[in-house]
Each structure stands twice: as C-alpha cells, then as structure tokens.
Amino acid sequence: MMLRESVTESFARVIHGLTVGHLTDHVIQRSKRMILDTLGVGFLGTSTDVFHKASEYSKIYSSNVSSSVWGRPDLRLPPPYAAFVNGVAIHSMDFDDTWHPATHPSGAVLPVLMALTEALPSSQKFSGLDLLLAFNVGIEVQGQLMHFSKEASDIPKRFHPPSVVGTLGSAAAASKFLGLSTAKCQDALAIAVSHAGAPMANAATQTKPLHIGNAARHGMESAFLAMLGLQGNKQVLDMQTGFGAFYANYSPQILPNLDSHTWLLDQQDVAFKRFPAHLATHWVADAAASVRKHLVTDRALLPTDRIERIVLRVPDVQYVNRPFPDSEHEARHSFQYVACATLLDGGITIPSFHKCQIARPQVRELLGKVELEHPRDNLPSFNTLYCEISVTLSDGATFTECTETFYGHWRKPLSKEDLRGKFRANASSMLSYDIVERLIEIVENLEDLEDCSMLTTLLKGPSPPTEVKVCLSRNHVFLNNSVTLI
C-alpha cells in the first residue's frame, strides 16, 4: 500500500521539481520589480548604523570562499555572512517590499542567491532564468506556509514573519540553486525550522533588521548542512510541534502536483514603499497629506497653535502605536509620528527619520494632540485596513480625510518609471550613474541574461581607489583623497 505523501514531502517535491518552464510572464515581471527594489534599498541600507555594526561583526569570519557585500568593493565575506550583512542592509530602514499575508518576502531570498552566484565554482554558470526560478521558489514557499493559518493573514503579534517563513524561503531558494535532491530539500526545510523565529518585541529597534539577515544566513546554512547529509524531522511542516509552533490554528495542506502548479505571486502582488517606514503608516501619510490641504494654502506653515486635536482611526497594531518615538526605528513604527511629520512637512522622506527631525519642538507639540481610535471594522490586515484622520481646530472646525489604498499598494502599484526612480535615488548613494543605469537594464531583462556574474560584478560597486602620493609644496601629501601634513 502506498503511503500518503506528507506536507513536508510535498514542499520538497515542489522545490526540487519546479523548472523555468513553470515560470509565467506575470511572475517574471513581478519578481524582476521585486529584485530591482530590493537591490536599491540594500544599497541605501549600507549607510545605516545597524549595517555598520553587522558588517564589523561579520569581519571576524573568513573562509577560502567569499562573496561580495553590495556597494562595498573592499569587503568580502563567507557566503552566509555576505547574505546576512546584505539582508540586514535591505531591512535596515524598513524600506523593503511587503506581501500579503504579511511578510517582507524578498530580503531573505535575494542576498542568498547573489552570494551563491559568486561562491560556487565558475564552471557552474547561472543564468538570469536560473536566478528567477530560485528566487520565485523562495517566495512561493513563504506564501504557501502563510496560507496555513488565519493568524498569518494579519499584521503579526508574536513572531516577525520574515524570521519564520523567510528562513524557510531562504533554505528553499538555496536548495533549488544548489540542485539538492528531493530528500535533501526536505532536510533543509527541517533544519531551517530549528533556525526560525524572532519575537515582535524587537520591532522598532536596531535588532529588527537582523531578522532578515539571519533568515538569509540560516536558510543558506540549512541548505549547506542538508547537502552534507545532516538530517531533520521528515514531518516538520506537518506537526504542531514543528512549524505549527509559530502559528495558531495551523492547518497545513499537501501542495498540488506540478502539472497543476500556480504561483501565489501570480495571484497576489507585493507593495513597494515610497518612504522607509512600516507599511501601515503609508495609509496614515496619505490621509494626513489630504487633510493638510484644508489647513495650509500655498507655501504657508501649518498653524500648529490652532490645532486642538488629531484623531487617527487605524487598526489596533500595538507595535506601531508609539505616541512619543525617540529613535529613528521607533519613528518608523509610529502612526503618530508619521501623521504629525506629514502634517508639518507635507510628506515623508528619508531624512524625516533623522534624530533632529524627530526631536523638533513642533513635532513634539503635535504628538501631544494625537489620539488613536480603533474602529471595529478596521482590521489589522494589509489587504483591508484604512486610515481616517480628523483634525479639529481651536475654532471648532474639523477636517476629515480617509485613505483606503495608497500609491505603492498592490491595488495601486508603482509605475515602472516610479519604481526606477526609487531605485535610482537609493542606489546612487553608493554607485555611479553608469552602474545604476546598467543595473536597471540588466534586471529588467533578467530572463535574457546568460551569466549572473555580470550582475554580481556590478553589485560590488566601484573599485576602491588606489593609493597615490603626490608631493606638493609645503610637505602636503594627498593620500586616498585626503590631505595629510607630514
């Protein structure tokens, strides 16, 4: 009698069995947008303090095989740590893509594949289609796992989703790229479950970006260990004490046969952020900008002294309810701050989260006037939530605006040109104009790329300057573009 296939076996079967022939045009186009956006926020993230700390820590590790840290041509690390550092950079400003059910899908997967592309022998040439397939396998595994629980559909309360499903997505993508057998794919998933999980208590801190970096690193390590023969529980995705430990009401299902496979990304697109903060604050920013038009004419300043009360009607999401944020990470996770900064400035930009902006007296004054209300119909889901904002003035006049969908949400996606614009703005912080434009061209035509080494070469950034000494009068020396007296 044939034994019934387990859920874990079905995942391994799909990971091993999917081919480039299964990719649809829709999935290819959507995933190329995700890759371009992820690379851009990764480059920008290399300017952050948390990236600096993670990269300094990772320098203690070395091996005979190494991969690049994006935009840092002078820094190479063992592949798992290159994936870790690049993953941290991607999430360091909370600027990366967001999916439904709620997670940041790309940041745990793309750094793994870029690191492996460089680390594997040059005789193993990977095409753009190979990259797109492995990337989408990693995204698909995350999406399928989140559909096994109602809890996963909502904005998280217990575990940060990228640390859970992202770790398994990373393991799946690495297993696909490394060509692991079905049995070893199954073991990689089991090993990854033991690496998974990070609590939401560390949201709005410097530790939260580590969740993405660790998901990338641990997924790659899981695939490497499985490749070496390390085994895990063959039923890990079937069990409440396995992957089910992370989600309430966990009800896993066997995946369909490959001949009837459909991609979740075909059905559900991602959201791309216009500014670096928690996705729920994007509804708040749009609603606040609409109300501001009633309060400010032309280029006049917001009459803060005339504002008596600001009411935000938002879902009950405790970790984004921060009345008086003190750090950039808290401000990125504050309904209140994003509303007040938008009312004051007319919009949110990258510098909006600098310490000097958060500490402005006008901001602190407005924060003291904000109240949150949680309407029963405003559920904590990125697919259905809305924000209504009411501003009441000292003369009793009240202005109310509501945003149900913001520009960048999957229902109102960024245009191709605006997504390119975001990438250019982010990547130009580290790369020359020519490299930025070349990266856009390569990613937008990724399915035609014969060798991904062309992509990874560009990701390194410009070559570090050579040391040149030029003797000048009065014993000045130019060394690496700095001036020193000798």
Non-local (6+) Cβ contacts of 202 within 8 A are 160, 208, 211
What are 267's two structure tokens? 């059905």
Per-residue confidence (pLDDT) for residue 190, from 0 to 100: 98
> Over pLDDT 70: what percentage of the chain?
95
Q: Would you say residue 415 lies in a domain?
A: no
Q: Is residue 24 domain-shared with residue 161, that is, in the same domain? A: yes
Q: Is residue 22 domain-shared with residue 108, that is, in the same domain? A: yes
Q: Would you say residue 473 lies in a domain?
A: no
Residue matched to tokens 């904005």: 155
Q: Would you say residue 408 lies in a domain?
A: no
Per-residue confidence (pLDDT) for residue 259, from 0 to 100: 93
Q: Would you say residue 107 lies in a domain?
A: yes
The pLDDT of 164-177, averaged and rounded, is 98
Q: Is residue 223 domain-shared with residue 323, that is, in the same domain? A: no
Indicate the helix (H) or strand (E) that contains 390. Answer: strand 387-393
Q: Is residue 170 domain-shared with residue 232, that is, in the same domain? A: yes
Please say whether the beta carbons of 277 and 338 come within 8 A: yes
Q: Would you say residue 163 lies in a domain?
A: yes
The type of residue at 22 is H
Q: Would you say residue 204 lies in a domain?
A: yes
- Chain mean pLDDT for the chain: 93
Quick one: pLDDT band at residue 429, thresholds 50, 70, 90? confident
Residue matched to tokens 């500014």: 275
Per-residue confidence (pLDDT) for residue 314, from 0 to 100: 98
Judged against a pLDDT cut of 90, whether residue 129 lies above it is answered with yes
Per-residue confidence (pLDDT) for residue 466, from 0 to 100: 44
Beta bridge partners of 409: 407
Per-residue confidence (pLDDT) for residue 297, from 0 to 100: 83
What's the sign of the alpha-carbon dihedral 123, 124, 127, 128? negative
Q: Is residue 259 domain-shared with residue 288, that is, in the same domain? A: no
Tens digits of residue pLDDT in 452-472: 999 999 999 876 544 443 333
Q: Would you say residue 238 lies in a domain?
A: yes
The type of residue at 185 is C
Indicate the helix (H) or strand (E) that contains 55. Answer: helix 49-58
Q: Is residue 224 domain-shared with residue 303, that is, in the same domain? A: no
Which strands make up the sheet holding 476-479, listed edge to edge?
A: 470-471, 476-479, 482-485
Query: What CA–CA distance (Å, rounded) separates 270 from 365?
Result: 36
Q: What is the model's pTM?
A: 0.93
The type of residue at 370 is V
Domain boundary among 218, 239, 271: 271
Query: What CA–CA distance (Å, rounded) separates 59 from 84?
Result: 12
The pLDDT of 165-172, averaged and rounded, is 98
Give SS3 for 224. Answer: helix
Per-residue confidence (pLDDT) for residue 471, from 0 to 100: 32
Higher pLDDT, 120 or 223: 223
- Give the CATH number for residue 97: 1.10.4100.10
What are 72's two structure tokens? 């840092």
Tens digits of residue pLDDT in 265-283: 999 999 999 999 999 999 9
Per-residue confidence (pLDDT) for residue 2, from 0 to 100: 55
Tens digits of residue pLDDT in 339-388: 999 999 999 999 999 999 999 999 999 999 999 999 999 999 999 999 99
Beta bridge partners of 477: 471, 484
The β-bridge relationship of strands 307-313 and 387-393 is antiparallel
The type of residue at 317 is V
Judged against a pLDDT cut of 90, whether residue 104 lies above it is answered with yes
Judged against a pLDDT cut of 70, whether residue 44 lies above it is answered with yes
Range of the domain at 375: 279-403
Q: Is residue 210 domain-shared with residue 332, that is, in the same domain? A: no
Q: Would you say residue 483 lies in a domain?
A: no
Per-residue confidence (pLDDT) for residue 486, from 0 to 100: 25
Q: Is residue 222 domain-shared with residue 145, that is, in the same domain? A: yes
Q: Is residue 167 domain-shared with residue 57, that is, in the same domain? A: yes
Q: Is residue 396 domain-shared with residue 248, that is, in the same domain? A: no
Q: Is residue 211 domain-shared with residue 293, that is, in the same domain? A: no
- Give the CATH number for residue 328: 3.30.1330.120
Judged against a pLDDT cut of 80, whether residue 150 lies above it is answered with yes
Q: Is 147 exposed, middle or buried (0-12, 13-18, 19+ CB in 10 A)?
A: middle
Strands (E), 58-162: 67-69, 72-77
Per-residue confidence (pLDDT) for residue 463, from 0 to 100: 62
Query: What CA–CA distance (Å, rounded) separates 392 from 65?
Result: 62
Per-residue confidence (pLDDT) for residue 1, from 0 to 100: 46
Q: Is residue 336 domain-shared with residue 264, that is, in the same domain? A: no
Closest CA to 182 of 2, 15, 21: 15
CB crowding 348-358: b at 16 or more within 10 Å, else e: beeebbeeebb
Domain count, the chain: 2
Per-residue confidence (pLDDT) for residue 298, from 0 to 100: 75
Query: What CA–CA distance (Å, rounded) separates 106 from 271?
Result: 12
